[in-house]
Structure 1
Amino acid sequence: MLHPRRSAQHVLLCDACETAPLQSHCERCNINLCTNCVGKHLLDSSRKHRVIPFIEKSSTPTCNYPKCPSHPDKQCELHCEKCDLPVCSTCVASGKHKGHDISDIQKKLSAKTQGLQKDLEELETRIYPRYEEIVSDVQTEKAQIETTYGKLTTAADQQGEILHREITAIVNQRKSDIAEMKTKHLAALDKNTDEITHSITELKQIILNLKAILESNDVSLISTYKSRNAEFRRLPPKVQVTLPNLSPQKINTEQLREMFGSLSPLSINTEEQGYIMKSAEAVSSPPVKPLLNEPRVTATIDTGYSGLYSVSCVSEEQVWTRGSNEIMKLLNLRGKLLTSIQTKSGNKPGDIAVTRDGDLVYTDPDKRTINLVKNKEIQTVITLQGWRPRGVCRTASDDLLVTMISDDDKQSKVVRYSGSTEKQTIQFDDQGRPLYSSARFISENRNLDICVVDWDVDAVVVVNQSGKRRFRYTGHPSNTEQSFDPYGITTDSQSHILTAECYNQCIHILDQDGQFLRYIHCDLHRPLDLCVDIRDNLFVAEEFTAKVKKIQYL
């Protein structure tokens, strides 16, 4: 601005008094001061000051400073941290922000800009694609609506045809009964008519004979005549018939609807996704529990089976097991038998899992059932038609995920159940190709991915919670002894995926994106099944030794 007494040249004035030419600059407060105001400024002991000659002030890059709302002729080159507001040097000099931390607005803007850049990157690369994926899932669901509701309509038509056939059969039976009654009625009347006709013939003959006797005046004929009038005075019996009635019952519409079958109500709810996406910083941060270089066995449980096939954790101290017979055993770490349950059918169970309440769930492939053991009582909660259940696991929402194979062994799928209600079926990819050849063992990851061992093709197939394929793992290239042959599968709190390889006698650890991390060996002998407790202790079921090994690997 122009100095009022020196209009021929530009003079920079003190930000504090706005009258004297500036001589100094406080770097801490970013304020220009004259000689008189420097002393006053230094009296403010609420913050440290660093006053330098103005000519030593470092140049700063140009910036679009906002205008100060309190001092329109000033620009806000500073930022009050406590008030979280841009301020000008006059605002600071006025004492309104005394004791507040004041920073350079360019540094503040730089930090904010970095934050904006991170937000933009996360929105573009992670959040926005996820929303697009959800929309795609909805479109896929909409495309399946015609098929789903078409099946319901077909089922209604079929039930209608069944009822029509039953009604037609009843009507035809009634018409047949009526025709039979009519025939019997006519036959009775015909018989009565025949009897009366015979009597009429006799009467005619008697009348003719009497006329002949009277005309002949023959004493011999008259004396030998015997009257039959008394016989014919008793008129022939008349057939009495009570005609049948059709007494239709009043149709009970409600009963008819019940006979037809009920249609469960349509339930439309807005369901939370089940988890919140981690921020980019959280995703890139190192694991809370890093992998141990040398995993170690901390306990060994002898189950007493001749062959051990499955293990499922109840707690850090107790596990359910299934082996070579129809008995499932609850054991502690010392191998003490706490409870044993025999399957309802007497068949060997297919797989076992434990619910959030600690109840046992097992599959019975031969009976095509999924069963719940509660208070030692076995309830059959699901019975399948045309499919045999195989593997089972509990999800974070306490649903059940079940792998199954068709009766002809040609199709395989994963079904999600809430109680006994089917909520989701996962069988085909976006191109309609089967996701699985022979789905067997199953686990849900911490990020809600569904991890399945596909037995026939020796692969781990992972899909997201919507059933879209994420990746397939077919073993690590370093494994040259034998081909990859996965069996049991489990996941931990770090979203690691662990799968047992029976013939190579080791455990593969993968990250949530399918990248191989390392092996666990621990002198394992034919490991078949896995589970992880709440503290990420790994339990491994060995087939031939029939032992469960508890391993610390994190």
Structure 2
Amino acid sequence: MEGIRTSMKAEAKAVKKLVDTVTLENIEKADKIEQSLLQTLNGQNQRIDDYINFLNDLLKQFYCYLSPTNIEQLKLSLKSENLIIRPIPEISKPVLPVFTAGHYNKEDFAKLLGRITVSNSEPENRKIKRMGNASAQLKPIGKQRNLPPSVTKVREYTVPGVDNVYHISLGKSGTLWVSDSSGNLVKTDLQGNQLKWIQTTDIRNEGYHTVTQGRDLIYTDKSYGVICKITPVNKVTKFIKTGEWEPTTIHSSHINGDILVGMINYKEAKVTRYNKTGTEIQNIQRDDKGKELYSEPHFITENTNGDVCISEYEIDAVVVVDKSGQHRFSYTGQGSGFTPNGICTDILGHILVCDEFSNTVHLLDQDGQFLSLLLTPQQGVDDPCSVCVDDENNIWVGQRYTNIVTVYKYLQ
């Protein structure tokens, strides 16, 4: 509830900021109109003053002819071809602007600021399980509902401008963003045409970019402690400042547009949640016993139930907390070794994570139970380090030693 209240205040703050911005723009427009009107009026006043001076000069010229002895001279002067009397200057009444007040009511602002609602569905009956040793609990299981059928390779794309594919962010239909370990961040279409190239920091082997609900790409810059935004018209702006904390990995929520950022600061690490306007609303750092949850968040994603899933390269584990920040489980693999890299979730709540140690992609359910090795070297996978799922339930996989992105179908 505190998170909801914080989001409400952030929305109100954003609307107030927009009101101030629009009001300032209107005032500036009014100032410009006033300056234009004054310039017009001052010009007309100057022409009138000039004409008055002209008339005064004429009066002085003919004043000397007013004596009876000079009447004939006055008549000759008035009939002279050299006498030119300028016409009275034309002036116009300026068209004044009109302010039309806006029409709004309480209901309009209620729609603008959002609503809080409660679902009509029945409460879910859940068994509370005590979380003990995670690796001891997460054992392979037999038959599972929603277990995907066999995986089929659909297509593959060669991405120009990168040496390998460490992270993938899917943009608008027909575009994708790919980053490699050398700091190259490239936008390309599915025909292999490079649409934009950005040089970030020298070594980036994390999931440091994501596409928002508004179709903007945002990415972390560890060196300057900022999160940058690239709009659809390719304008780069600084969006969020993280201060002394270095942002390593980022994910834009498909649920509510919140932005989840993994960060490090010396020997500490945390996950910070921002709303879509960039206001900080939550920090996740320790479990209920005060123990540090993270070492160095490497890749981050959010599940359909709101769980925040972190791939932790340093401690060889996938760390999952619920949306309130409470630790749910940690997955440490199925054998003697496990080195997690890229991570994502699908519409069924599955967690997909790349394992550098075994050159495979693990498939887990949303409670951390191992379901299967979804991709293996037998299917042509070699050192997978990035994975994501598109709107058609296809898996996009990037690998360490090639700039090829391979797409597989695994859900019908």
Choose the corresponding residue for 1:551, options 397, 408, 412: 408
Partner of 2:368: 514
Contact 2:201 2:221 in 1 (8 A): no
SS of residue in 1 equivalent to 2:347: coil
Aligned with 1:403 (options 249, 262, 265): 262
> How far 1:431 moved relative to its partner?
1.5
The equivalent residue for 2:314 is 456
Q: 1:544 to 1:447 in 2, by over 3 A?
A: same
1:490 aligns with 2:344: yes
Cα drift, residue 335 of structure 1 = 2.5
Say yes or no: does 1:297 pair with 2:153: yes
* Mapped pair 1:426 → 2:280: no
Q: How many residues align?
A: 278
**Residues 275 and 465 of structure 1, relative CA distance in 2, 3 Å threshold:** farther
Aligned to 1:518, the other structure's residue is in SS state strand
**Map of 1:69-80 to 2, 5 A cutoff?**
none
Letter in 1 for 2:257: D
Matched, 1:342 2:198: yes
* Contact 1:328–1:342, Cα closer than 8 Å, also in 2: yes
Give deviations 1:466-525, integer Å, cap 9, x for gaps: 00011110002xx35xx1000010000000000001231110000010000001222111
Choose the corresponding residue for 2:297, options 422, 425, 439: 439
TM-superposed deviation, 1:315: 4.8
Asked whether the equivalents of residues 316 and 535 of structure 1 are also in contact (C-alpha less than 8 Å), the reply is: no
Where do residues 135-146 of structure 1 align in structure 2 (5 Å cutoff)?
Answer: none
Matches within 5 A, 1:66-465: 271=116, 290-292=147-149, 294-304=150-160, 305-315=162-172, 317-337=174-194, 339-343=195-199, 351-374=208-231, 375-395=233-253, 396-406=255-265, 408=266, 410-418=267-275, 419-465=277-323
**Letter of the structure 2 residue corresponding to residue 512 of structure 1:** Q
What is the aligned partner in structure 2 of residue 467 from structure 1? 325
Q: Cα offset for 1:278? A: 7.6
Counterpart residue number, 1:22: none
| Counterpart position of 1:183 | none
Deviation at 1:532, TM superposition (A): 0.9
The 8 Å contact of residues 315 and 534 in structure 1, kept in 2 or not, is answered as no
Higher relative contact order (CA 8 A, sep 6+): 2
Return the letter of the residue paired with 1:544: Y
In the aligned structure 1, how far is the partner of 2:349 from the partner of 2:372?
Answer: 15
Determine the C-alpha separation between the residues in 1 that align with 2:172 and 2:145: 21
Give 1:26-105 correspondences, 5 Å limit. Answer: none
- Give the match for residue 385 of structure 2: 528
Give unmatched runs, 5+ long, in structure 2. Answer: 7-113, 127-142
- 8 Å contact from structure 1 (residues 539, 549) kept in 2: yes
Q: Deviations over 1:273-305 (max 9, x none)?
A: 899778569xxxx9996501x212111111132
Q: Do the aligned residues in 1 keep the contact of 2:386 with 2:399 (CA within 8 Å)?
A: yes
Contact 1:312 1:530 in 2 (8 A): no
Mapped to 2, the partners of 1:424 and 1:389 lie a distance apart of: 15
With over 3 angstroms needed to count, the CA separation of the structure-2 counterparts of 1:376 and 1:276, relative to structure 1, is farther
2:354 partner amino acid = A
2:357 to 478, 492, 503: 503
Give the C-alpha shift of residue 545 in structure 1: 1.1
TM-superposed CA distance for 1:336, in Å, is 2.8
TM superposition shift of 1:381: 0.9
Say which structure is richer in helix: 1
What is the identity, as a one-letter code, of the residue corresponding to 2:332?
T
Contact 1:394 1:400 in 2 (8 A): yes
Question: Are the counterparts in 2 of residues 525 and 545 from structure 1 also a CA contact under 8 Å?
Answer: no
Q: Tell me which amino acid in the other structure corresponds to 1:403.
A: G
Closer/same/farther in 2, CA of residues 273 and 510 from structure 1, 3 Å limit: farther
CA contact (8 A) 1:287 1:494 kept: no
Q: Residues 315 and 405 (structure 1 numbering): CA distance in 2 closer, same or farther, change over 3 Å? A: same
User: Identity rate of aligned residues, in percent?
Assistant: 31
Indicate conservation of the 8 Å contact 1:459/1:474, yes or no.
yes
The residue aligned with 1:178 is none
Letter in 2 for 1:401: L
* Partners of 1:494 and 1:331 in 2: CA distance: 29
C-alpha RMSD of the superposition: 3.0
User: Cα distance, 1:380 vs. partner?
Assistant: 0.8
Question: Do 2:249 and 2:299's aligned partners in 1 also have CA atoms closer than 8 Å?
Answer: yes
Cα distance between partner residues in 1 of 2:361 and 2:314: 19
Which structure would you say has the larger Rg?
1
Instruction: Name the CA distance, whole Å, in 2 between partners of 1:371 and 1:342.
Output: 12
Q: Is the contact made by 2:201 and 2:223 (CA closer than 8 Å) also made in structure 1?
A: no
Q: Does the CA-based 8 Å contact 1:288-1:494 persist in structure 2?
A: no
Check 1:440–1:271 CA distance in 2 against 1; reply closer, same or farther (3 A cut): farther
Rounded to whole Å, the distance in 2 between the matches of 1:498 and 1:272 is 32
- Contact 1:525-1:542 at 8 Å conserved across structures: yes
* Contact 2:338/2:356, CA 8 A, preserved across alignment: no
Q: Distance in 1 between matches of 2:291 and 2:181?
A: 35
Question: Is the contact made by 2:144 and 2:371 (CA closer than 8 Å) also made in structure 1?
Answer: no
Give the ranges of 4+ consecutive aligned residues of structure 1 lying more than 3 Å apart after TM superposition: 269-281, 286-290, 324-327, 345-350
